[in-house]
Structure 1
Amino acid sequence: MPNSVLTSPPGSFPWTVLHDRHPALIAKVGDGLPYSPDRLSALDALASEITGPIRPLPPDAHDAGTWTEWSRDYVGESWYDVPFLFAESYFYRKLLEAVGYFRPGPWQGVDPFEPAKSPELRGAALAEELALLSELPPGQRDEGLLTASLWGNQADLGFQLSQTDGGRSTALVADDSASLWPLLNGTVCIVADNAGRELIPDLLLADRLLETGRATRILLHVKAYPYFTSDATMADVLACLRRLADDPAGKRLWQAVRTGALTVRAHPFSVTPFSYHDAPADLAEDFATASVTIMKGDLNYRRLVGDRAWPADIPFRTVTEYFPGPVAAVRTLKSDVVTGVRPEMLARLDATGEPWRTNGTHAMIQVST
C-alpha cells in the first residue's frame, strides 16, 4: 500500500495549498462578511496557527471529543508533517470554529463561503451555459449534461462541447463514459462536489435520468456543513432549485424532492478526514443498493481511491474493489492523486511539462463494476 499523501515537501502541491491557498482563504473569508472583532481575531489566530504546530479544538466545541480522537496522532505536529487529507479537513473545521459557525450567537449557521457562491448563480456565465444546454438537440442532451457535470465551473462549457475527437473530449485522460450510461438506471446515487455552476448541471443530469425513466430514484449526497470552500450543502441545493424555478427542469426537480424521487442526504461522514474505506454501515448501504454511485469531483476521488501516492497506471478497478457497489468517478483533475491512466497517455501528458494533474485542464470519467 503506498504512503498517504503528506503536506510536505516544500513546493509540492499539498504544501502550496497550506502555504498559499489557506492563508489567502482566511483573508477572503474575513473580507466576505462583516464579522465582529472577536471573529476577526479568531481568524487571525488561525492564520498564525497554520504556520506552526497543530492545536486541539477548544474543549467546549460540540465535537471536541470526536476531533480529539481523530487528531490524537497529529496535535503538536507541524501542519506540514501530516496527511494532506487530514490537514485540509481539520483546517476547514477550525475555520468554522473561528467564524462561530457552531457557536450560539449571530454567526451560528452562517456559511462563510456563501459570498462566493451566490454570485455564480446570478452570473452571466451560468445563464449562458443553461441556454446552451437547453438548445442541445435531443440526441446530444445526455452527453451534454454529462460534460457539464464533469467540467462544472472549471472551463467554458461551449468550448468543452466543441473540443471532441470522435465524440470524446480531447482533455479526458480516461473515459469510461460508454460503461457508465448502461448503469444509470433504477436508483442512482450522486455524491456531489461543488455548489453553484457545478451543482446545477448535476441536478439537471438527475432530472434527465428521472424524466427519461432510466432512473426511478436519485440519492443526492451533499456535505453536512460548509466544507472545502465551495462544497455543496442542502442550502446550496435549495439555492440551485430557486435559480431553476422558472425552468421546467427546476419545477420537476422541486416536485421530485417532494415525492422522494430526488432524496437529499447530508451524512456526517461527508465532513470527516477519512476515505470511503471507512464509510459507516448506513452510508455503505446507500452505495450498495444503488445501480451506480457517481463520485463527483476531486475530493471525492481522493476519498474513493485513498489519498495515497498511487502509481498513475494502477487500474482504477484495483483501488476501488473494496467499494460496496458499482462506482463511477467524474472528476476534473485538481490534485496529484490519479489512477487508471494508460502508460502511453501518461507518458504523453508528463512530456508536456505542464502540471496536468493539478491545474484543472484535464478530467476523467472512470467506472468500476
Structure 2
Amino acid sequence: MGEHRSGTDERRDDTAPVILAGAPDTFARSVFHDRHPKLIERVIGAHPYGEAERTALRELLDETLHGTVSPLRTTAADATSWARWGEPWWGREWGELPFLWAESYFYRRLLEAVGYFRAGVWQGVDPFGPTKDAELGSAEVAGELAALDELATAPEPAQRDALSMSALWGNQADLGFQLVSGSGGRSGGLLVDDRRELWAALDAAPAARLHLIADNAGRELLPDLALLDHLLVTGRVAAATLWLKPQPYFTSDATMTDLLAALRRLRVAGAGTAAGRLGDRLWQALSTGTLSARTHEFFCAPAGFDEMPDDLRAALDGAALTVCKGDLNYRRLVGDRYLPPTTPFADRAGYFPTPVAALRTLKSDVITGLTAGQVAALDATGQPWRSNGEHALIQCAR
C-alpha cells in the first residue's frame, strides 16, 4: 500500500487563509494570551527552578505577548533546522506568525528557558513531567485499567470498537475502557465516523504494518497502547510502529520516557489482571520488534505533514494504514487554515504516503469533512464547538 500516492507532486489547494497567532477574537490568540501565562506559572511551580530559569520563562512570555520573534541562541542539535524554519519570521511580532509555527516555537523556546538542552542539572528534565506522573497515578486511570478485565470478556468486535472510541476521546472519555458498547454516551459528539473504512484499509492488506503517530502521554496514551495490542493479538496487523516526540512538546505530547512510564503503569497492575497482561505483551512486543517505537526531528517541526522529509516519508511508505492521533496531528495533516468545514477530508490528506486515518477530538478551529447541515446546526448552538473538546472525528482517506 502507499505506492499509488504521489506525495509531494500531488499539491493541495492552499488558498484558505492561514490561522495566525494573534488575530483578534480568535481561539489562536486566546492560547497565547490566556493559556500561556497560566502554563508558564505552572511550569515554574513544577520544579524548583533557579532564578535564571524562572526569569527566562517570564521573559519568553513577555516576548510572545509584546515583542518580536528572536532566534535560538544555542548549539543544540536542532539549532540549524530552527535557523532555517525561522528565516521568514525573525523580527516579526508573534501575533503575525502562523499559529502552528508560533506554538511550536514557543514550546521549543520554553525548553531552552528551563535548560533542557544545556549541560547542567536541568538537562533532559521534562518540565511537564510532574503533571504527566500525577495523571498516570490518578484514581481515574486505576478505574479505567480495572475496567479492562470486563472488556476482555466482550466479543472481539465490541472490544475493537470500545478501544477505538477510547483512543479517540482520550481523557475526555469519562468511562474510559468501559466503552464496551462502543459509544459510552459520547456518540452524539462524533461528527464523522469512518471506522468501517479504517478497518477496511487494514483488511485490504493482511499481515501488514500499522503506524500510529501518538499525541498525548498519560491517560491518553494508555488506550492507544491497548488498541495497538488488540490489533496485534487479533492478527489484524502483523507489526506496528508507534511514533513519539523526540522531546517534551505541547505540554503533554508523548516521548519515549512517557511510553516506558505507561508500560510500567500497566505492568504494576499485576499478573492476574488484564492490564498487567497487556503491559507484559507490549513489553515483549517491543523486545522482539513486533511493536517498534520510533521518533524523528520532524515531529517537533513547525510544519505540516505535506512537508515531511524524504527519510520519514520512506519510513511510513508501504504500511497498510497510518493513524494520526489528536488535534495537533490533525492540524499538521490537513493544514492549519480556515478551511471551509465541508472540504472533503481526502482532498486535504490525499498526499499522505499511506492510507491515513485521523482520530481527533476538536480542540482548534481546523475542520474538514462535515455536511452543510452539520455546520449550520453546530453554529446555531452558539457554542465554540470547534475548540471545546466536545466533538470528535474519525476520518479515513485511502
Please give the range of the TM-score, normalised by the shorter of the 2 chains: over 0.9
Q: Which amino acid aligns with 1:203?
A: L
Q: Which amino acid aligns with 1:210?
A: L
Match of 1:299 in 2: 328
Q: Secondary structure at the match of 1:152?
A: helix
Match of 1:110 in 2: 125
Deviation string, structure 1 residues 224-264 (Cα, Å, up to 9, x no partner) = 10000000000000000100113101100000000000000
2:162/2:180 contact within 8 Å kept? no
Aligned residue-pair number: 369
Q: Which amino acid aligns with 2:155?
A: P
CA distance in 2, matches of 1:240, 1:60: 32
Deviation string, structure 1 residues 140-192 (Cα, Å, up to 9, x no partner) = 11111001100001231359938978998121111101111122352000000
1:32 aligns with 2:46: yes
2:390 to 345, 352, 361: 361
Match of 1:98 in 2: 113
1:26/1:43 contact within 8 Å kept? yes
Q: Secondary structure at the match of 2:58?
A: helix
Cα gap change, 1:166 to 1:65, in 2 (>3 Å): closer
CA distance in 2, matches of 1:284, 1:232: 21
CA distance in 2, matches of 1:285, 1:63: 21
Match of 2:212 in 1: 190
Q: Which amino acid aligns with 1:178?
A: R
Q: Which amino acid aligns with 2:266?
A: L
Once the two structures are overlaid, the 10-residue window that deviates more, 62-71 or 142-151, is: 62-71
CA distance in 1, matches of 2:194, 2:124: 40
- Cα deviation for residue 65 of structure 1 reads 3.0
CA distance in 1, matches of 2:178, 2:29: 30
- Cα deviation for residue 306 of structure 1 reads 1.0
- Cα deviation for residue 60 of structure 1 reads 4.0
Match of 2:56 in 1: 42
Match of 2:347 in 1: 318
Deviation string, structure 1 residues 101-146 (Cα, Å, up to 9, x no partner) = 0000000000000011001111110111122233121241111100
Q: Secondary structure at the match of 1:135?
A: helix
1:134 aligns with 2:156: no
1:21 aligns with 2:42: no
1:219-230 aligned within 5 A: 219-230=241-252
Match of 1:161 in 2: 179
Match of 1:178 in 2: 196
CA distance in 2, matches of 1:134, 1:18: 42
Q: Which amino acid aligns with 1:170?
A: G
Match of 1:272 in 2: 301
1:256 to 285, 296, 317: 285
Cα gap change, 1:228 to 1:277, in 2 (>3 Å): same
Give the alignment's TM-score, normalised by structure 1: 0.96
CA distance in 2, matches of 1:165, 1:32: 36
CA distance in 2, matches of 1:227, 1:159: 26
Once the two structures are overlaid, the 10-residue window that deviates more, 239-248 or 281-290, is: 281-290
CA distance in 2, matches of 1:232, 1:160: 23
Cα gap change, 1:209 to 1:77, in 2 (>3 Å): same
CA distance in 2, matches of 1:29, 1:158: 28
Question: Aligned Cα RMSD in Å?
Answer: 1.9
2:358/2:395 contact within 8 Å kept? yes
- Cα deviation for residue 320 of structure 1 reads 1.1
Cα gap change, 1:243 to 1:162, in 2 (>3 Å): closer
CA distance in 2, matches of 1:7, 1:132: 41
Q: Secondary structure at the match of 2:218?
A: coil
1:195/1:230 contact within 8 Å kept? yes
Q: Tell me, which stretches of 5 or more residues in structure 2 are unaligned?
A: 1-13, 271-275
CA distance in 2, matches of 1:217, 1:153: 26
Q: Secondary structure at the match of 1:153?
A: helix
CA distance in 2, matches of 1:33, 1:118: 13
1:149 to 164, 167, 187: 167
1:113/1:230 contact within 8 Å kept? yes
1:129/1:157 contact within 8 Å kept? yes
CA distance in 2, matches of 1:164, 1:258: 31
CA distance in 1, matches of 2:74, 2:248: 22
2:170/2:220 contact within 8 Å kept? yes
Q: Which amino acid aligns with 1:229?
A: T
CA distance in 1, matches of 2:99, 2:237: 36
1:232-247 aligned within 5 A: 232-245=254-267, 246=270, 247=276
Match of 1:335 in 2: 364
Which has the bigger relative contact order, CA under 8 A and spacing at least 6?
Answer: 2
Q: Secondary structure at the match of 1:309?
A: coil
